[in-house]
Chain A
């Protein structure tokens, strides 16, 4: 667990200094909200509320893709990836540290995006903020788990910019579908039931366990 915590500390410190991924994800998310504002003018409030969960998750997904794509490219500088591969013990803890750092960054961008989205489209999401945060957190566990694994797999490939979305998007379709349904329910004022969250819990659990177990050979040569 020391390895995971060390990596979390290192990644967040590096990000704080470079703001490399954070700026890219924030600018992208806000730009897409602005584009939707112009592409989707003066729609009735009911229509906006109905489409908002889907639109929000499309923004979340592509912003996450942008951030996850750089998770391991940073480690290619000075071949720092080799230093990680040299850590003794189970490499699953490297996966955990990397995934946790991505989770923090992506969640921060998503919170800001939700705020800007609600502001632009005059939606009152304050009462649903807790439920939305829970849904987003569960979906993010799945996204960063599979994203970290695929990002590591594609990091040394010449085609990494193409490879990551090709691998990641299909595997996130079940996450996206469940997250949109749960988000619609919570924004619609429904109480979040275990049944609504169950698919996300199961997928997040499976992806996190797979990521932990499969990470070792990914860093092997």
Chain B
């Protein structure tokens, strides 16, 4: 069972003059599964890379803690990387290696040496037993993505971070992947999944967060009933997109991400944590 708690206060990330994250507050409790939804360029991948220990926030405070009873031990970024699994848009695999060799390599990077039986069990769990000794460069996108997930969990992370894992998969492969992720979750592995698809978010997560232009604009939990359904989430995303269109038409550049005359971004509404969708609780 996951013991890793991730929390941030005013977490911001800038790339030069571009603000990818404009100061967000969040908490991801041990064992919780969270979906992050938002349009392209909302800052979702940047957030996930901060959670993975791949990027440092430019501003704000990000804490990763191991919770044991009431005691909490803060982790350094180096320690955090050992506790998370990461699956990106790309597979992060070496094409010249076989599926099994990629798993062994990933495990060794985390200081582990899984036995042959452990490798076989993991490969079988992800439906890769027959393909274990095929080079990754010869595998289809869907199969390579499953190998990528096996790579992401081979060191038994507390949290699996997934950045649009369904990209490029057909319906059958996506449904299969979704089932496999649900199984991982049932085993106690937390998931933080970025997806454009509200239906997938509902299937995999206990809580959905809406990110828009680097700001948290809404959150909803499974316990909220219909508000957590795919139609409600889709409506919230559409509403945010329409808001953008309206701002563009108004031409005045109201809202987050507005640029001043010198091309710098400035915050005009101070709406950190503003709720555009359903109310945010605990995020």
Residues of chain A whose beta carbon lies under 8 Å from any beta carbon of chain B: 2-3, 5-7, 9-10, 13-14, 17-18, 74, 77-80, 82-90, 220-221
Cα-based distance from A48 to B90 in the complex (angstroms): 52
B170 part of interface (Cβ distance < 8 Å):
no
Residues of chain B whose beta carbon lies under 8 Å from any beta carbon of chain A: 49, 52-56, 78-84, 86, 88-97, 101, 105-106, 108-111, 135-136, 144, 151
Give A90's nearest chain B residue, CB to CB. B78
Q: Closest Cβ of chain A: how far from B49's Cβ, in Å?
A: 6
Cα-based distance from A90 to B90 in the complex (angstroms): 24
Contact A77–B95 (Cβ < 8 Å): yes
Contact A78–B93 (Cβ < 8 Å): yes
Contact A78–B52 (Cβ < 8 Å): no
Contact A87–B109 (Cβ < 8 Å): yes
**Cβ of B86: which chain A residues have Cβ within 8 Å of it?**
82, 86
Contact B81–A87 (Cβ < 8 Å): yes
Q: Can you pick out 5 interface pairs between chain A and chain B where the beta carbons lie within 8 Å of each other?
A: A6-B109, A9-B108, A77-B95, A86-B54, A221-B54
**Cβ of A79: which chain B residues have Cβ within 8 Å of it?**
88-92
Contact B101–A80 (Cβ < 8 Å): no
Cα-based distance from A17 to B97 in the complex (angstroms): 9
Q: Closest Cβ of chain B: how far from A75's Cβ, in Å?
A: 8
Please name the 6 residue pairs, one residue from A and one from B, whose CB atoms are nearest each other, closest first: A88-B82, A6-B108, A79-B90, A221-B55, A83-B92, A14-B96
Known contacts A14-B96, A82-B86, A83-B151: A6-B105 contact under CB 8 Å: yes
Cα-based distance from A17 to B96 in the complex (angstroms): 7
**Cβ of A86: which chain B residues have Cβ within 8 Å of it?**
52-54, 81, 84, 86, 109
**Cβ of A17: which chain B residues have Cβ within 8 Å of it?**
96, 135
**Cβ of B105: which chain A residues have Cβ within 8 Å of it?**
6, 9-10
Give A14's nearest chain B residue, CB to CB. B96
Q: Closest Cβ of chain A: how far from B52's Cβ, in Å?
A: 6
Cα-based distance from A87 to B54 in the complex (angstroms): 10
**Cβ of A77: which chain B residues have Cβ within 8 Å of it?**
94-95
Q: Closest Cβ of chain B: how far from A220's Cβ, in Å?
A: 7
